[in-house]
Amino acid sequence: MENTPTAPLPQVTFRETVREQDAADIRRIVQDTGFFTPEEVDVAEELVREHLAHGDASGYHFIMAEQQDELVGYACYGPTPAAEGTYDLYWIAVDPARRNMGLGKQLIAATAHKVRARNGRLLFAETSGMEKYGSTRAFYTRTGFTAEAVLKDFYRPGDDKVIYRLEV
């Protein structure tokens, strides 16, 4: 059998600068994942707009992943109010066409690096306990997070909130 070489993936670049176009691109990525409600998609876009309006004072920081000038994933994080050195990972999403290629892992690593640079010590993430989110929970475990708490019926009856913790 002949080995067919595969074309290398275009290099991923990361940026922290938030641009106006990012709001629409993030909306598309979050929507295309199929994991989020229309209200959650609105929130993802709203956080971009909040950052554009208020910069770092918004409390929302972004890491954008691009391939050939196209936004293909992002993470949004920020300091937890009234907590010392604790940060929340508000969003992480990767374009479905680029899932399972290590991009999410790179975004977590870049986020942890930025949190450390801001004198952070802990990064928390949360997700649903529903079966649909099993791959998300496995992703957090694979990237070094540990499940810290389960809040029963948090989002709605039968939909628990699972909180993950990462020491950065």
Condensed to tens digits (0 to 9), the pLDDT of residues 40-91 reads 999 999 999 999 999 999 999 999 999 999 999 999 999 999 999 999 999 9
**Residue 77 β-bridge partners:** 61, 89
Global pTM value: 0.92
Give the pLDDT mean for 99-108: 94
Query: 5: pLDDT confidence band, cut at 50, 70 and 90?
Result: very low
Domains delineated in the chain: 13-167 (3.40.630.30)
The span from the CA of 117 to the CA of 111, in Å, is: 10
Q: Is the pLDDT of residue 9 over 70?
A: no
Q: Is the pLDDT of residue 129 over 80?
A: yes
Pairing of strands 61-67, 12-15: antiparallel
